[in-house]
Structure 1
Amino acid sequence: MRLITALLFASSAVLALGAAAQTRIYCCDDAAGRKVCGDFLPAACQGRAYEERDNRGFISKSVEAPLTAEQQARRDAEAAKKEELKKKAAEERRRTLALLATYSSEKDINSARDRALAEVDKAMKQSQQRLEEANKKKQKLERDKEFYKGKPLPEQVKAQVLDNEKEIKAQQDAVEAKVKEMEEVRLRFAEEKTRYLELTGKKSTEAAPAVPAAPAAAPAKPAAEKK
Structure 2
Amino acid sequence: MNKATIAAHLALAAWVAGTSTNVSAQAVAPVQGGVYTCVDAKGRKLTSDRPIVECIDREQKILNPSGTVRAKVGPSLTAKELADIEAKEKREAEERNRTAEEKRRDRALLTRYPSKAVHDQERADALAQITVVIKAASNRLEELGKQRRSIDEEMEFYKKDPTKAPAYVRRQLEENTQSQAVQRRFIGEQEAEVKRVNERFDDELGRLKQLWAAAAAVPK
Match of 1:133 among 139, 143, 147: 143
Give the whole-Å Cα distance in 2 for the aligned partners of 1:79 and 1:135. 65
Report matched runs for 1:214-225 at 5 Å.
none
Q: Which residue identity lines up with residue 127 of structure 1 in the other structure? A: A
Report matched runs for 1:77-88 at 5 Å.
88=98
Give the whole-Å Cα distance in 2 for the aligned partners of 1:138 and 1:80. 65
Q: Which residue identity lines up with residue 39 of structure 1 in the other structure? A: S
Residue 124 of structure 1 deviates from its aligned partner by 0.7
Contact 2:18–2:24 under 8 Å retained in 1: no
Distance 1:89 1:143, change over 3 A: farther
Compute the TM-score of the two structures, normalised by the length of structure 1. Answer: 0.55
Structure 2 residue aligned with 1:58: 55
Overall identity of the aligned pairs, in %: 26
Q: Which residue identity lines up with residue 188 of structure 1 in the other structure? A: R
Does structure 1 residue 143 correspond to structure 2 residue 153? yes
Does structure 1 residue 185 correspond to structure 2 residue 215? no
Contact 1:137–1:164 under 8 Å retained in 2: yes
Give the whole-Å Cα distance in 1 for the aligned partners of 2:93 and 2:184. 43
- After the TM superposition, which of the residue ranges 150-159 and 96-105 deviates more from structure 2? 150-159
Unpaired segments ≥5 residues, structure 2: 1-13, 28-49, 61-72, 216-220
Unpaired segments ≥5 residues, structure 1: 1-24, 43-51, 67-71, 204-227
Residue 148 of structure 1 deviates from its aligned partner by 3.2
Residue 81 of structure 1 deviates from its aligned partner by 7.7
Give the whole-Å Cα distance in 1 for the aligned partners of 2:51 and 2:108. 55
Give the whole-Å Cα distance in 2 for the aligned partners of 1:167 and 1:86. 53
Distance 1:147 1:112, change over 3 A: same
Give SS of 2:164's match. Answer: coil
**How many pairs were matched up?**
158
Compute the TM-score of the two structures, normalised by the length of structure 2. Answer: 0.56
Residue 63 of structure 1 deviates from its aligned partner by 8.2
Give SS of 2:114's match. Answer: coil
Larger Rg over CA atoms: 1
Match of 2:206 among 194, 197, 222: 194
Give the whole-Å Cα distance in 2 for the aligned partners of 1:38 and 1:158. 89
Contact 1:26–1:37 under 8 Å retained in 2: no
Give SS of 1:104's match. Answer: coil
Residue 183 of structure 1 deviates from its aligned partner by 2.1
Distance 1:166 1:90, change over 3 A: farther
Residue 29 of structure 1 deviates from its aligned partner by 8.3
Give the whole-Å Cα distance in 2 for the aligned partners of 1:170 and 1:79. 54
Residue 166 of structure 1 deviates from its aligned partner by 1.1
Match of 2:110 among 100, 108, 117: 100
Residue 53 of structure 1 deviates from its aligned partner by 4.9
Does structure 1 residue 109 correspond to structure 2 residue 109? no
Distance 1:193 1:37, change over 3 A: same
Q: Which residue identity lines up with residue 115 of structure 1 in the other structure? A: D
Does structure 1 residue 154 correspond to structure 2 residue 166? yes
Structure (1 or 2) with the greater helix fraction: 2
Q: Which residue identity lines up with residue 117 of structure 2 in the other structure? A: K
Give the whole-Å Cα distance in 2 for the aligned partners of 1:153 and 1:78. 77
Does structure 1 residue 171 correspond to structure 2 residue 183? yes
Residue 176 of structure 1 deviates from its aligned partner by 1.6
Distance 1:41 1:196, change over 3 A: same
